[in-house]
Structure 1
């Protein structure tokens, strides 16, 4: 099991990055929030989860150990594979997901592409209290006032045109003026994704 890696970022795409570790380029699948923190040519350190299948070895990367633990718990739910688990973490932070499951908030869970009402109910039932209590990051995150340049840079690094990224950030900010930086980035990505 590869639990973490550290190396030089070779490339960053919309859903993956390549990090060179000891002369070997490792393809990492990650959430847009994690990918937005990576800079080509800089050193990066990620927690990882290796998913082994008959015909493939796929490495998933996370900014912190909590996100990896939530990813691995999501993979235990019937009908949720690693790609769907990563999609869930692209929409919800680990603490937002904990709160949605604790509060049995099906509508929050069905915001994720590919998760319907039955899937949300199955997540609530099968995960139960396995994720533990929220760590407080949902309430403690500061509002994103003045954070647009960072979000714009992250979206441009992920391959979006500056004009369309700026428009999506404005739309996301209008719909939720008190959004944190992470929430604003996620909303902007959802808006951009729906326009394609």
Structure 2
């Protein structure tokens, strides 16, 4: 299995790119935003997920291991294949995806092409137990041990709950869900177990700025 490629970008199309590695051209599938960021004629390094089916072998490229991990975890949901997973990662970074799952923000997940409300609900429901609210926007999948540690930390749980409530309140005020989560995340930095009202006020200042 190929897990990583470093080579020169030879060509880029709507769905794929050709990466030359030591004279061998590898066809890489990727989300459109990833392909659009590949510089022709320059060297790039991509994390690779090798998909093996009965009728094909396909290489899917990602700019980071975090995105590769998100791609994998999305496909553990019933009904989510590689196409759906790439579509979701086209509109949501891993951090935004995990925050949307934690906040049960179906609207954010539904932004992906081909993902309806029913599938978005399944993604959120099934992945609630697999990813935690991210502190510091690391974009990394939390391990089981890390999630247990978070669950055992009452203070952390209270803060995560307050953040979710603040995001919900801002969304009801008409703010975009992703923008609201980012504002709340920035507002909570340096605050010691802030309450919902404090977070909302601080987040509104962030949004105004």
For the aligned pair, the TM-score class normalised by the smaller chain equals 0.5 to 0.7
Please name the residue that 2:93 is paired with. Answer: 93
Please name the residue that 1:36 is paired with. Answer: 36
Other structure's SS at 1:119 match: helix
> 1:33 deviation in Å?
2.6
Please name the residue that 2:18 is paired with. Answer: 18
Structure 2 gaps of 5+ residues are 139-175, 180-209
Other structure's SS at 2:111 match: coil
Other structure's SS at 2:80 match: coil
- CA pair 131-29 structure 1, distance change in 2 beyond 3 A: farther
Structure number with the bigger relative contact order (C-alpha 8 A, sep ≥ 6) is 1
Contact 1:98–1:133 under 8 Å retained in 2: yes
- Count of aligned pairs between the two proteins: 140
**CA deviation vs aligned residue, 1:75-99 (integer Å, no higher than 9, x gap):** 1111111111001000111111111
Distance 2:129 2:11 in 1: 37
Let me know the Cα RMSD of the aligned residues. 1.8
- Matched ranges for 1:26-105 at <5 A: 26-105=26-105
> Structure 2-normalised TM-score?
0.63
Distance 1:95 1:8 in 2: 28
Please name the residue that 2:106 is paired with. Answer: 106
Distance 1:8 1:108 in 2: 34
Distance 2:19 2:58 in 1: 14
> Structure 1-normalised TM-score?
0.66
Distance 1:50 1:56 in 2: 10
Structure 1 gaps of 5+ residues are 139-175, 180-196
Please name the residue that 2:184 is paired with. Answer: none
Please name the residue that 2:146 is paired with. Answer: none
Distance 2:29 2:129 in 1: 27
Please name the residue that 1:4 is paired with. Answer: 4
Pick the structure with greater CA Rg.
2
Distance 2:7 2:132 in 1: 32
Contact 1:4–1:46 under 8 Å retained in 2: yes
**CA deviation vs aligned residue, 1:46-105 (integer Å, no higher than 9, x gap):** 001001000000110000000000001011111111111001000111111111110111
Contact 2:46–2:63 under 8 Å retained in 1: yes
> 1:108 deviation in Å?
1.4
- Matched ranges for 1:131-146 at <5 A: 131-134=131-134, 136-137=136-137
- CA pair 106-14 structure 1, distance change in 2 beyond 3 A: same
